[in-house]
Structure 1
Amino acid sequence: MHTVQIQNITVGGQNPIVLIAGPCVIEDPERTLAIGRSIKEIAGRLQIPYIFKASYDKANRSSYNSFRGPGLKEGLSILAHIKKELQVPVVSDIHCVTQIEAAAEVLDILQIPAFLCRQTDLVYEAGRTGKAVNVKKGQFLAPLDMKNVIAKLEEAGNRNILLTERGATFGYNNLVVDFRSLPIMRSLGYPVVFDATHSVQLPGGAGTSSSGQREFVPYLTRAAVAAGVDMLFMEVHDNPPEGKSDAANMLYVDKLEALLQDVIAIDDAVRKHK
């Protein structure tokens, strides 16, 4: 298996699990930083490698009037400040080829949203930067279909590839996780990430926005770690109901440490089988 190096963090192989976490979208810059600082303190106590995430622009919204974030220029400036303050790598979504150059100057991981995972130009040009690229498997794709995404990135000369499971469409306004997809995608030769909070999303379930079932996050997280994933992706907030995006599926930051303690115990038990 290829491992992926992100600053001083090695992902994949038999390395310990890595955490990607932060609020769904950049809201108030100071609050966003404070959430990241709280997560870093928790990860530090538990000795879990940590990467901060928040979106500068949530382009895939149910409603035109939904909050999208500060946008590319201001959002990247905020992420650069958070990166400097926390001294951790940062990741955010990119949505079009024109964003890649500016995003690559700040981000340590370029993330391809699930709905855009088949956009050849976006995937290929992200790969050409040489940065780590995390591609979220589309809700409409089979896990083996991700071999075609890998081929596009490899064609661009990039082997710093992460593949994320975030649930599959199950009827209307619902997702389900097929845990077979985790070892299947890992068999393609690259580290696999489990998106624990988007996997409990109910897309469009609130009419003009998505709903979610955050109460199931711990169950899916523990199951995914038992299946041998290399990274966890979680959207975390100090008060999720106040969140301006994905409020119903973000995890409370004060619930994170207990869950990560379970994660460590499970990861220690299964790592030799990865």
Structure 2
Amino acid sequence: MLQLDKLKHQDSNNFFLMAGPCAIEGEDIALRIAEKIMGITDKLKIPFIFKGSYRKANRSKGSSFTGIGDEKALKILEKIGHTFDVPTVTDIHESGEAAMAAAYVDVLQIPAFLCRQTDLLIAAAQTGKVVNVKKGQFLSAASMKFAVDKIIDSGNNKVILTDRGNTFGYQDLIVDYRGLPEMQRFGVPVVMDCTHSLQQPNQTSGVTGGKPELIATIAKAAIAVGADGLFIETHPDPANAKSDGANMLNLALLEDLLVKLIRVRQAVV
């Protein structure tokens, strides 16, 4: 079982990393991405949680890719966890999905749009798994205390909060870094989502845009502020990814970015 107090590597006091593709597209590519990230994070002594959505429920267009099948994708996540001895995280969207997903992964993630859904938070908490709640784009950092309280009051104190920016007009987001230390006051690890915070939602095409060239900027600032962890969606070929390719980091750029982030971390601790 994943222990939150072990996410920081004792030798390096590094941030931890939640990373992987937006969605599970297939076994081969998921395993290749996991193996690549695992090699990098092992070398850099960065605690790593593999991320992959077994299903994408929040899509603008009805024709958008949503997944390869729940059980098939969850079994791939389970295989990655066993193959690489790494914890895994995936999103859930309804309270009925919590127990199903918990049978395969270590961390249940609550999407930002659903962070106030009481039944969903309680169902996730009752699995006993770590629960990562993404802060709603429409909420202040202070408001996330109520999400934390719902989970803890359900008998589960294993909570992570993830910031993914704030709504700024109709088609943009902005990051308020004051929110990271504010949420840390709740006594839980706080993560910066460096890719979704650069989304450009609600495009007229029905496909979300993004600004991946700014991922390093968001990540460096988050580490400088003192984020406990980073969330980065990454893919070897973002342009041809089946989901959220517009704001994912090219996998070939991950190692160089993490090396630079370790230097920032060392400068501020």
Q: CA deviation at 1:204?
A: 2.1
- Alpha-carbon offset, residue 74 of structure 1: 1.3
Distance across 1 between alignment mates of 2:151 and 2:93: 16
Task: Give yes or no for contact 2:90–2:105 (8 Å, CA) kept in 1.
Answer: yes
Tell me the alpha carbon deviations over residues 52-110 of structure 1, each in whole angstroms, 9 at most, x when there is no partner. 00100000001111001123211111111111112100000011111111111111110
> Match of 1:76?
74
Query: Residue in 1 aligned with 2:96?
Result: 98
Matched, 1:63 2:61: yes
Give deviations 1:105-150, integer Å, cap 9, x for gaps. 1111100000000000000111111111000000000000001101
The residue that corresponds to 1:48 in the other structure is 46
Which one scores higher on RCO, CA 8 angstroms, separation ≥ 6? 1
Which amino acid is 1:211 matched to?
G
Secondary structure, aligned partner of 2:50? strand
User: Between the two proteins, what is the percent identity of the paired residues?
Assistant: 47
Match for 1:192 among 181, 187, 190?
Answer: 190
- Tell me: CA distance 1:11–1:135, structure 2 relative to 1, closer, same or farther (3 Å): farther
Q: Name 2:105's counterpart in structure 1.
A: 107
Q: 2:185 & 2:69 partners in 1: Cα distance?
A: 36
> In structure 1, what is the Cα distance between the partners aligned to 2:8 and 2:259?
20
Please name the residue that 1:86 is paired with.
84
Match of 1:29 in 2: 27
Q: Which 4+ runs in 1 deviate beyond 6 A?
A: none
Q: Does 2:179 match 1:178?
A: no
Residue 143 of structure 1 aligns with an amino acid whose one-letter code is A
Counterpart CA distance in 2 for 1:169 and 1:196 is 15
Normalised by the size of structure 1, how large is the TM-score? 0.94
Distance 1:151 1:11, change over 3 A: farther
AA in 2 matched with 1:105: A
**Partner-residue secondary structure (3-state), 1:233:** strand
Instruction: Give the whole-Å Cα distance in 2 for the aligned partners of 1:83 and 1:29.
Output: 13
Where do residues 1-274 of structure 1 align in structure 2 (5 Å cutoff)? 5-6=3-4, 9-10=7-8, 15-205=13-203, 207-271=205-269
Write the distance in 1 (CA, Å) between the matches of 2:111 and 2:150: 16
Q: Is the 8 A contact 1:5 1:11 kept in 2?
A: no
Gaps of 5+ in 1: none
Measured on the aligned residues, the alpha-carbon RMSD in Å equals 1.7
Distance 1:213 1:35, change over 3 A: same
* Matching residue's letter, 1:27: E
Q: Give the whole-Å Cα distance in 1 for the aligned partners of 2:68 and 2:96.
A: 17
Query: What TM-score, normalized to structure 2?
Result: 0.95
Runs (5+) with no aligned partner, structure 2: none
Q: Distance in 1 between matches of 2:121 and 2:13?
A: 26
What's the CA shift for 1:11? 8.5
